Structure 1
Amino acid sequence: MDLPRARAHGTVTQRLIDDHLLSGRTEPGEEIALRVDQTLTQDATGTLVMQELEALALDRVRTEASVQYVDHNILQADERNAEDHLFLRSAARRFGLWFSKPGNGVSHPTHMHHFGAPGKTLAGSDSHTCAAGSLGMLAIGTGGLEVALAMAGRPLHLTMPKVWGIRLTGELPPWVSAKDVILELLRRHGVQGGVQRVLEYHGPGLASLTAMDRHVIANMGAELGATTTVFPSDGAVRGFLDGVGRGADFVEITAVEDASYDLDEEIDLSSLEPLIARPTSPGNVVPVREAAGEPITQAVIGSSANPGFRDFAVPAAMVAGRQVPAGVSFDINPTSREILQDLTRRGATFDLIAAGARIHQSGCLGCIGMGQAPAPGSNSLRTFPRNFPGRSGTVDDAVWLCSPETATASALTGAIADPRDWAARTSVAAPPAPDAPDPPSHNDAMLEPPLPPGEAARVQLVRGPNISALPELDPLPDSIHGPVLLKAGDDVSTDEISPAGANALPYRSNIPKLAEFTLTRLDPDYPRRAEAVREDTGHLIVAGANYGQGSSREHAAIAPRYLGLRAVIATSYARIHWQNLVNFGVLPLEFEDPADYDRIGRDDRLRLSGLRGALAPDGEPRLRVHNTTRDEEYTVRHRLSPRQRAAVLAGGVIPALAH
């Protein structure tokens, strides 16, 4: 079938999409459907995904490879996480997934090591799934239900994005690394700069970036709001795959010589300097030299945003023979067992321990607020991807994002330090080149393969008392007349809607209990007020721009929906959260005139009528909203496809499929 071409052509992105396109036109703004080769789920989102597979009555996954990782909730303060881990393992065995045990590694670099392959599509229930674009994959983070549907053999639907070509030239100077590349893009464009775009890197500067460097850059494309990030599959990818023993998976995928992009950008790598994101946004980026001297109490190395051997080996070499000051906690979170083995083989683990570092198990840990929470108001430097308010587990946190070089120089100094200045003071000319083992370690002892179909069919799911059934969702009524229980500002993250951390996250498979934490960082009384009107009128939320940025967790949609949320009116939405609202029957509307946001107050009562007609296949996407408190009217619109309209009308995707 001949499909119209978008303006961008000859790109890696276009080739990957064309090779997997099942329906739709590849023009920006159009809904397309893609075939999914692989899926990735992690434990913070995976429990709901497995329950959704049950609801879909799936017998066995239909993908080439689906992997369930346990990397987020590995802090077992009580029985709840342990129960969920048993449930996830039993579900992986029942439905034919690979299972990565707790402590095996962070999902993204572990998937890259064991399963990533150029030319494949990957759908993951984690927003940083885009990291796999470092290998020339089309890797898209999305809500858990989208991943469950992909496992069931259904296509992944998304709005066709524009392709943003980012040309790299030059080479990174000493003490500047891959983290500074993506921080530079965030400095230029902020957390909304990549919305409805694929970031595709090209140009001569790629030659100096390893596959793991590219992983760092691709991972944090999510912080720009991008649909995903794509790199070519070239010699660097071949070298990586050869190193992990999977050279046969290599396929060269590069843009054609005269490729064109919808948008163009250029970064001269040689012009970059060490950068740092101030609290409390990844987009709040400044040169490290502008923040130098701020005292710190914690520096953490690790996470999917800096997961490679060099990201630990360089800090180990920097601290060798030195001591971290007594007032600084220097934490090391190895991202996989292979990385920990290789660091140990090279003696780097000893150097870190001798310098006063605290070595933790392989996992996400403090990145999702599961341990390592800093003291209120004290500066914590982290090589993590996000520093949204409270994400660390501390309400009044002060988390900064930076490279391993900056974090280590600061840890040794006791204050934020430009690594170039630290090097000058200590007479270290350049970062020591990490002496990586060749070949790197390969350890699949904690990676369980899928059971054969006959054996899998006999597996019973192990369901602990903390795992509740999915809530039943009723159809959308023809009219809504309810209060605005929350008026939120711009860039509200899913961490603020459905908090992570050691208190809330263990209830991720218990929606009624998790709902008690919903939006409490913005309004501690929200759950009680929502419960009071849930059975009567339900309620609405009004929000500013980029509502729902950050994590892909669908809990941020289903928990408010459980509490009676029927519609959100926002200036704009983050991609994944917008789709998650649709998936669970919440109507996402946008102001026709953004100035109307200022005319609505908390507790105003809004009436929307004729909803079922407006969401009919030929319905008008614009609606009038009557503010009965102020006797005003506003125009709002939706941008739902016919498929999404049907889902919202039915109360969500699962009820729609049941009809």
Structure 2
Amino acid sequence: MEGRNMVNLIAEGRVYRGGAFEPLKEGKPAREKTMAYRILEKHNTSGNMDELKIKFDAMASHDITYVGIVQTARASGMEAFPLPYVLTNCHNSLCAVGGTINEDDHVFGLSAARKYGGIFVPPHQAVIHQYMRERMAGCGYMLLGSDSHTRYGAFGTMGVGEGGPELVKQLCRKTYDIAYPPVIAVYLSGKPQKGVGPQDVALAIIRAVFKNGFVKNKVMEFVGPGIGNLTMDFRSGIDVMTTETTCLSSIWETDEQTRGWYQTHGLEERYAKLSPEEGAYYDGVVMVDLDKVRPMIALPFHPSNAYTIEEFKANAQDLLRGVEKEAEGIFGKAEGLPGLVQKVQGGEVYVDQGVVAGCSGGTYENVMTVNAILRGRPIGQGVFNLSVYPASQPQFMALLKSGAAAQLMESGAILRSAFCGPCFGAGDVPANGGLSIRHTTRNFPNREGSKPSGNQMAYVALMDARSIAATALNGGKLTAATDVDYDAPDLSYTYDASIYDNRVYQGWGHAHPEEELVFGPNITDWPEQIALPENLMLEVASAIYDPVTTTDELIPSGETSSYRSNPLGLAEFALSRKDPGYVGRAKAVKALELKRRKGEADGEVKAFLGDAAPENTGIGSLVFALKPGDGSAREQAASCQRVLGGCANIAGEYATKRYRSNVVNWGMLPFILDGASESGIAVGDKIYLPGIREALQDGKDAVQAELIRDGQRSPITLKLPAMTEDERDIILAGCLINYYGQE
């Protein structure tokens, strides 16, 4: 298809010399000459670059995650934040109708920043990653965030997105432990043509590397002459989307444009020139010809489901029919589930909504370019509507002073405050059957607010802000920005720090331990978990054979926001979109375990355990999935299973390191099963794990178990590859909180 030569992959190791890549002919690979190696070495405390123990320079969380993190760290003995910790409020910003649940979280967050010495960014001031770019980035820094899109590589900063327990470890003065990751060069050449934006480049890369796992759990290191042809906002727009490749982190060469960005933001002392040394060795190469990138669209239900707009429009009916079939496979063949093919009319594709928002879309340059394309001309009085969310108040102020904000409003666009809602299904929810085009980070199932169980379904496609503006100019007729004429806007930008100075609480280094945390009624502690028993008898409470299971499917995003500080309340939503019967099954098993713990080994408990002794055999549930955990870093995808009595996951592989980390940190066994897709494991099967505690203590990387089905037992081998000693100790203790409580 047209556009397939935009990105090319070199799967073998290469040496970067003289601006070109050549095979390693002799000698040891010079991994130490990459930018990533030097930054990791600076932050490693182990003394062994093969097994890293990282301490970060700063951390960030938003208002869906920071309550649980602070609660866990407090229970683990934390008395003050030992590093700068930014608590932003950009996910749970909307009020809860009929209650004050969300604002209670914000009050808690401010009280935590005061008590422990943190930085508190009030709601609507900035989305998490824009604040971190503007105030916390630095060349050679490493930042950790409890959000998967923690990516600041364009600013010379290695960002890592992880589940909350990894931030807890930093708050408890522990380390982020990981084997030294492979590093993949991303070589940029050429210059994007007018009308092509950062989302187009990002989607072209994601399409090339996601399904084959080319950069999974690796560092993407951006090099090459094409970088100099990109503005900082353009680079950042590509960089933040590297999360959708499943890479571990990213880092870019820096230059005078980078220096200028730090100067503009009053942080010039944080600039340093970063580039790989001559002869740097890379484990693979992604070659990106920016000249050849064309406007892109990623169809539901993943950013990798991407096409050039030209090839999509040429095959629109077939491709949209394919999305409909995928929806049936994901959600089941619900009666009357609205389709997409009717969006094709007279050979054109018509969409219902456009959104430009968040850390990827809402940047100053994107919004200025949207305005340059519209130039105050109307988007029309039809169904199509356009919402624009500037990523921070300083950027919003610059848009106001430039006059762009007024022009956008004249066009009919709605300008909103900084909010991440369109990225995860809160705010700007389309009508039933609607197709929304968005410059946001994800288009996973339900990220537009659908409820398939009620036959309410909408669809999100990802596009660059430029083509969204071109589509708005044509009243919703899908249009590539390269097909419209516009004058490039003046992108000069003046940063006004007073907006943050006057409102953001800057408490780093100034803890007030005498002050009390402020709890709302929906903020609760984590339920008690017990240490791993000698043996386990587990029942399969859900079996998922989809090629990939996202964290959104493990725990939905949008509608659960008000319960993120209430572990038991949130757990009621676990797998609700993928397997509605899961919660009831897991609760039934947990009830047996509670009886067992009380010594009430009645007939029901004995029947469940069979010949296993109730005094030393724990009862629990497990989730089976072929490849779970793609997407968000949210720890609740695992913690909800745990509070419902979950003791393990069995997978063919884990989609991301961060999800596997969450499974471990919540005390569950992260089993790998060879041949998982042919195993036939089903809901109601049991897995008996005799001597599991001893096996973990002995460091075994495979355990012999029994699969029990209809009274028949068969042997099964479950693997625990690459488990660290700390990971084993956490599971033995029952969870991270218990682990720290032992110290």
TM > 0.5: yes
Tell me the distance in 1 between the aligned counterparts of 2:474 and 2:210: 29
CA displacement at 1:150 relative to structure 2 = 1.0
Tell me the distance in 2 between the aligned counterparts of 1:280 and 1:314: 27
Q: Which of 360, 374, 378 is the aligned partner of 1:305?
A: 360
In the alignment, what sits opposite 1:295? 350
Matches within 5 A, 1:396-475: 396-415=457-476, 417-420=478-481, 422-423=483-484, 428=485, 430=486, 432-438=488-494, 443-444=499-500, 445-450=502-507, 453=510, 456-475=512-531
Give, as a single letter, the amino acid of the residue that structure 1 aligns with 2:95: Q
CA displacement at 1:170 relative to structure 2 = 0.6
**1:649 to 2:732 alignment:** yes
Q: Structure 1 residues 451 and 22 mapped into 2: Cα distance closer, same or farther (>3 Å)?
A: closer
Contact 1:73/1:370 (8 A) holds in 2: no
Give, as a single letter, the amino acid of the residue that structure 2 aligns with 1:108: H
Q: Which moved more, 1:160-169 or 1:188-197?
A: 188-197
Tell me the distance in 1 between the aligned counterparts of 2:262 and 2:180: 30
In the alignment, what sits opposite 1:111? 132
In the alignment, what sits opposite 2:646? 565
Give secondary structure in 2 for the equivalent of 1:140.
Answer: strand
TM norm structure 2: 0.83
Q: Structure 1 residues 121 and 482 mapped into 2: Cα distance closer, same or farther (>3 Å)?
A: same
Q: Structure 1 residues 451 and 233 mapped into 2: Cα distance closer, same or farther (>3 Å)?
A: closer
In the alignment, what sits opposite 1:55? 75
**1:45 to 2:65 alignment:** yes
Give, as a single letter, the amino acid of the residue that structure 2 aligns with 1:549: D
Give, as a single letter, the amino acid of the residue that structure 2 aligns with 1:652: C
Matches within 5 A, 1:367-378: 367-378=423-434
Tell me the distance in 2 between the aligned counterparts of 1:182 and 1:431: 24
Q: Which moved more, 1:563-572 or 1:431-440?
A: 431-440
Give secondary structure in 2 for the equivalent of 1:470.
Answer: coil
CA displacement at 1:362 relative to structure 2 = 1.3
Q: Which of 146, 156, 169 is the aligned partner of 2:176?
A: 156
In the alignment, what sits opposite 1:26? 49
CA displacement at 1:25 relative to structure 2 = 4.1
Give secondary structure in 2 for the equivalent of 1:43.
Answer: coil
**1:15 to 2:38 alignment:** yes
Give, as a single letter, the amino acid of the residue that structure 1 aligns with 2:432: P
**1:497 to 2:535 alignment:** no
Contact 1:103/1:337 (8 A) holds in 2: yes
**1:582 to 2:664 alignment:** yes
Q: Structure 1 residues 620 and 362 mapped into 2: Cα distance closer, same or farther (>3 Å)?
A: closer
Q: Which of 70, 85, 88 is the aligned partner of 1:69?
A: 88
In the alignment, what sits opposite 2:697? 616
Give, as a single letter, the amino acid of the residue that structure 2 aligns with 1:10: K
Q: How many residue pairs get matched? A: 642
Contact 1:296/1:411 (8 A) holds in 2: no
CA displacement at 1:53 relative to structure 2 = 2.2
Contact 1:194/1:221 (8 A) holds in 2: no
Q: Structure 1 residues 415 and 633 mapped into 2: Cα distance closer, same or farther (>3 Å)?
A: farther
Tell me the distance in 2 between the aligned counterparts of 1:176 and 1:620: 48
Tell me the distance in 2 between the aligned counterparts of 1:368 and 1:620: 37
Give secondary structure in 2 for the equivalent of 1:535.
Answer: helix
Question: Which segments of 5 or more consecutive residues in structure 1 lack a partner in the other structure?
Answer: none
Summarize deviations over 1:385-440 as a string: whole Å, max 9, x none: 111100222232210011001111122224453424641xxxx1x55234333456
Q: Structure 1 residues 580 and 620 mapped into 2: Cα distance closer, same or farther (>3 Å)?
A: closer
Give secondary structure in 1 for the equivalent of 2:87.
Answer: strand
In the alignment, what sits opposite 1:81? 102
Q: Structure 1 residues 595 and 70 mapped into 2: Cα distance closer, same or farther (>3 Å)?
A: closer
Contact 2:540/2:623 (8 A) holds in 1: yes
Tell me the distance in 1 between the aligned counterparts of 2:187 and 2:508: 45
Q: Which of 275, 278, 292 is the aligned partner of 1:254?
A: 275
Summarize deviations over 1:466-510 as a string: whole Å, max 9, x none: 101112111122332232111112221111111111x31111000
Which structure has the larger Rg? 2
Summarize deviations over 1:256-278 as a string: whole Å, max 9, x none: 12212111121111011011110
CA displacement at 1:193 relative to structure 2 = 3.8
CA displacement at 1:567 relative to structure 2 = 0.8
In the alignment, what sits opposite 2:582? 526
Q: Structure 1 residues 498 and 24 mapped into 2: Cα distance closer, same or farther (>3 Å)?
A: farther
Q: Which moved more, 1:559-568 or 1:623-632?
A: 623-632
CA RMSD of aligned residues (A): 1.9
In the alignment, what sits opposite 1:555? 636
Give secondary structure in 2 for the equivalent of 1:321.
Answer: coil
Q: Structure 1 residues 560 and 595 mapped into 2: Cα distance closer, same or farther (>3 Å)?
A: closer
Matches within 5 A, 1:89-128: 89-128=110-149
Tell me the distance in 2 between the aligned counterparts of 1:228 and 1:376: 37
CA displacement at 1:551 relative to structure 2 = 0.9
CA displacement at 1:6 relative to structure 2 = 6.9
CA displacement at 1:24 relative to structure 2 = 6.4
Tell me the distance in 2 between the aligned counterparts of 1:213 and 1:617: 50
Give secondary structure in 2 for the equivalent of 1:401.
Answer: strand
Tell me the distance in 2 between the aligned counterparts of 1:609 and 1:44: 38
Tell me the distance in 1 between the aligned counterparts of 2:221 and 2:467: 27
Give secondary structure in 1 for the equivalent of 2:185.
Answer: strand
Tell me the distance in 1 between the aligned counterparts of 2:194 and 2:556: 38
Give secondary structure in 2 for the equivalent of 1:538.
Answer: strand
Tell me the distance in 2 between the aligned counterparts of 1:7 and 1:519: 45
CA displacement at 1:595 relative to structure 2 = 4.4
Sequence identity percentage: 29
Tell me the distance in 2 between the aligned counterparts of 1:620 and 1:279: 38
Tell me the distance in 1 between the aligned counterparts of 2:644 and 2:466: 45
Give, as a single letter, the amino acid of the residue that structure 1 aligns with 2:32: H
Tell me the distance in 1 between the aligned counterparts of 2:296 and 2:424: 22
Question: Which segments of 5 or more consecutive residues in structure 2 lack a partner in the other structure?
Answer: 1-27, 314-347, 452-456, 593-618
